[in-house]
Amino acid sequence: MVNPKDLLLKDISVGDTASFSRIFTRNDVLAFARLSGDQNPLHLDEAYARTTRFGRRLAHGMLVGSLCSTLVGMYLPGKRCLYLSQTLFFRKPVFIGDTVVVQGVVRAKSESTGVLEIGVSITKDDEEVLTGIATVQVLI
């Protein structure tokens, strides 16, 4: 387990980045289905998934999107993070067994409110699968 970073607002500048990678496993998808209640066969039933244009099971989009929470809660800014909002744009599917790279870049910073706007990009094989903007506040 990685300990969350402990960045203060003064430690963060526009242009700062953080990144990490993750492989989605069958167990990740099963656990997310249990926790979220999303039992869609596209994620859980290999025979059904083979009949779709994807040809195999997908990781849930929101499971992939949840890595935005990992980014801001663990890396940038880390433990002082209070999530305010998140946009997500799903660009391409992520399959069980895929490795994705999550990268965030600070796009804006408000000294008066402690609010950061962090651009998020999740890629697989150098292609974007998800993009979005996280708006977070750095707690004192």
Flag whether pLDDT at 1 surpasses 90: no
Domains and CATH numbers, the chain: 9-24+66-138 (3.10.129.10)
User: So what's the pLDDT on residue 2?
Assistant: 75
pLDDT tens profile 80-129:
999 999 999 999 999 999 999 999 999 999 999 999 999 999 999 999 99
Q: Which residues contact 111 (CB under 8 A, 6 or more apart)?
A: 9
User: So what's the pLDDT on residue 12?
Assistant: 97
User: So what's the pLDDT on residue 41?
Assistant: 97
One DSSP character per residue, the chain reads -PPPPB--GGG--TT-EEEEEEE--HHHHHHHHHHH----HHHH-HHHHHTSTT-SPBPPHHHHHTHHHHIIIIISSBTTEEEEEE--EE-S--BTT-EEEEEEEEEEE-TTT-EEEEEEEEEETTEEEEEEEEEEEE--
Comparing C-alpha atoms, which of 93, 83, 96 is closest to residue 122?
A: 93
- 60-67: average pLDDT: 98
Q: Say what the alpha-carbon torsion angle 31, 125, 41, 132 is, to the nearest 10 degrees.
A: 70
Tell me the backbone φ, ψ of residue 14, rounded to 5 degrees: -60, 135
User: So what's the pLDDT on residue 72?
Assistant: 98
Flag whether pLDDT at 39 surpasses 80: yes
One DSSP character per residue, 60-86 reads PHHHHHTHHHHIIIIISSBTTEEEEEE
Percent of all residues in the chain with a pLDDT value above 70, rounded to a whole number: 99
Q: Hey, what amino acid is at 42?
A: L
